[in-house]
Chains A and B, each alone.
Chain A
Amino acid sequence: MELRVTWLSAEKLSLALLSVAAFASTFFWREPLLHASGWLLGFISFYTFFYVEKRPLHYTILYLTTTIGVVLFAIAEDKIAVFAGWELVSVAGWGLIASTRGMTTRALEAAAWTFLTNRVGDIFWLAGVMSEGQFPEGTWIAVWVKSGAFPFSFWLIQAMYAPAPVSALLHSALLVGMGLYLPVRHPEWMGHPPPALIQSIAWGSASAAVIGALMARPPKAILAWTTASHLGMGFALWAAPQTLSDYLFHHSYLKAALFLLAGILQRGWLPFAIGAGVWSIAALALLGAAPKINAFFWIPELISIVALGRALSRLQGGLRLSWQGWLLLLPPVGLIALALPKPTIDILIGIGALSVGIYLGKWNYRWRIDTLIVRPILTSARFTDKISILVARMEEDLSHSLKQNRYILRQYARILALLERVWIPWGWVTNLRHMRVIVAELAHPSPALYAQMLHWGVLITLLLAVVWRFLR
Chain B
Amino acid sequence: MEIFALNSLWLLPIIMTFFTPLLSRTALIGVALLQGLLHIGAWAWLVLRWYGQVLRWNLPWFQMGGYTFHYALVLHPGNLWLLFLTIVIGYSALLYALTYIEEPAQFTVFMGLTLGFSQGLFLADDVMLFFVFYEASLIPAFLLIYGWGGAHRRSAAIQFALFTLSGSVFLLVGLLWGMKEMGSSLKEGWHIARLPLGAWWLMSIGLAVKLPLLPLHSWLGEAHVEADSAVSMVLAGLLLKLGGYGLLYWVWDGIPSAQAISLRIWGMLTLFYAVAVAAGQTDLKRMIAFTSIAHMAFVPLGAGSESSLGKWGAYHQLFTHGVVSAGLFAWIGLVEKSTSYRSLRQLSGFLQRSRGWTLPTLFLFASAIGVPGMSLFISEMLVIGGTASGAGWLWALVPASSLLLTGAYFLRALRELFTSENQSFPAPIIDTKWFILWLLIFISGIAGVYPGPWLEVWGYGRN
Contact = CB atoms under 8 A, between A and B. Distances in A.
Interface of A: 79-80, 83-85, 87-88, 91, 103-105, 108-109, 111-112, 115-116, 119-120, 122-123, 126-128, 130-132, 134-135, 138, 385, 387-393, 395-396, 398-399, 402-404, 409, 412, 460, 463-464, 467, 470-472
A360 B283 CA distance: 52
B17 interface: no
Contacts, number: 142
Contacts of B27: none
16 contacts: A84-B373, A84-B377, A103-B351, A108-B411, A108-B418, A108-B419, A111-B411, A119-B404, A119-B407, A122-B403, A392-B278, A403-B152, A403-B156, A409-B158, A463-B169, A464-B170
B412 A112 contact: yes
B213 interface: no
Nearest to A400: B222
Interface in B368-391: 371-373, 377-378, 381, 384-385, 388-389
A387 B401 CA distance: 18
B427 interface: no
Given A123-B401, A127-B400, A385-B279, A399 B393 contact: no
B429 interface: no
Contact of B384 (A130, A404, A467): A130
B403 A123 contact: yes
Contacts of A409: 158, 162
B265 interface: no
Given A91-B372, A119-B404, A120-B404, A130 B396 contact: yes
Contacts of B30: none
Contacts of B418: 103, 108
A387 B279 CA distance: 10
Which residue among A79, A138, A398, A471 has the maximum number of chain B CB atoms within 10 Å of its CB? A471
Contacts of B280: 385, 388-393
Contacts of A103: 351-352, 418-419
Given A91-B371, A123-B401, A471-B215, A115 B169 contact: no
B279 A388 contact: yes
Nearest to B451: A80
Nearest to A112: B411
Nearest to A135: B393
A105 B348 CA distance: 11
A83 B381 contact: yes
Nearest to B218: A399
Contact of B393 (A80, A128, A402, A463): A128
B166 interface: yes
Contacts of A105: 415, 419-420
Contacts of B372: 83-85, 87-88, 91
Contacts of A116: 404, 407-408, 411
B88 interface: no
Top 9 closest pairs, chain A to chain B, by CB: A392-B280, A131-B393, A130-B388, A84-B372, A388-B280, A389-B280, A388-B279, A112-B411, A108-B415
Nearest to B380: A126
B216 interface: yes
Contacts of B156: 403
Contacts of B351: 103
A80 B385 contact: yes
Contacts of A403: 152, 155-156, 159, 222
Nearest to A131: B393
Contacts of A120: 404
Interface in B328-377: 351-352, 366, 371-373, 377
Contact of B173 (A115, A138, A392, A460): A460
B184 interface: no
B136 interface: no
How big is chain B's contact interface, by range?
A: 35 or more
Contacts of B408: 112, 116
B5 interface: no
A404 B158 CA distance: 12
A224 to B, nearest CB: 21
A100 B384 CA distance: 33
Nearest to B169: A467
A99 to B, nearest CB: 9
B404 A123 contact: yes
B397 interface: yes
B281 interface: yes
B37 interface: no
Contacts of A460: 173
A402 to B, nearest CB: 6
B419 A388 contact: no
B277 interface: yes
B192 interface: no
Contacts of A122: 400, 403-404
A172 to B, nearest CB: 23
Given A87-B372, A103-B352, A123 B218 contact: no
Nearest to A398: B218
A126 B411 contact: no
A56 B434 CA distance: 27
Which residue among A392, A396, A398, A404 has the maximum number of chain B CB atoms within 10 Å of its CB? A392
B276 interface: yes
Contacts of B378: 80
Given A108-B419, A123-B404, A128-B393, 17 more contacts: A80-B385, A84-B373, A103-B419, A104-B419, A105-B420, A108-B418, A116-B404, A119-B404, A123-B401, A126-B388, A135-B394, A387-B276, A392-B279, A395-B218, A403-B222, A404-B155, A471-B216
A104 B349 CA distance: 10
B420 to A, nearest CB: 8
B415 A112 contact: yes
A127 B419 contact: no
A105 B352 CA distance: 11
A402 B152 CA distance: 12
B140 interface: no
B187 to A, nearest CB: 27
Interface string B162-183: 1100100110010000000000
Contacts of A126: 381, 384, 388, 396, 400
Contacts of B381: 80, 83, 126
Contacts of B170: 464, 467
Contacts of B411: 108, 111-112, 115-116
A119 B403 CA distance: 7
B377 A402 contact: no
A108 B273 CA distance: 26
Interface in B120-178: 152, 155-156, 158-159, 162-163, 166, 169-170, 173
A459 B173 CA distance: 13
B414 interface: yes
A394 to B, nearest CB: 8
B279 A127 contact: no
B21 interface: no
B221 interface: yes
Interface string B43-83: 00000000000000000000000000000000000000000
B392 interface: yes
A130 B403 contact: no
Interface string B396-438: 1100110110011101101100111000000000000000000
Nearest to B382: A80
Nearest to B352: A103
Nearest to A460: B173
B411 to A, nearest CB: 4
A104 B351 CA distance: 11
Contacts of A79: 385
Nearest to A401: B218
A395 B221 contact: yes
A285 B419 CA distance: 43
Contacts of B218: 395, 398-399, 402
B421 to A, nearest CB: 10
A398 B371 CA distance: 33
Contacts of B173: 460, 464
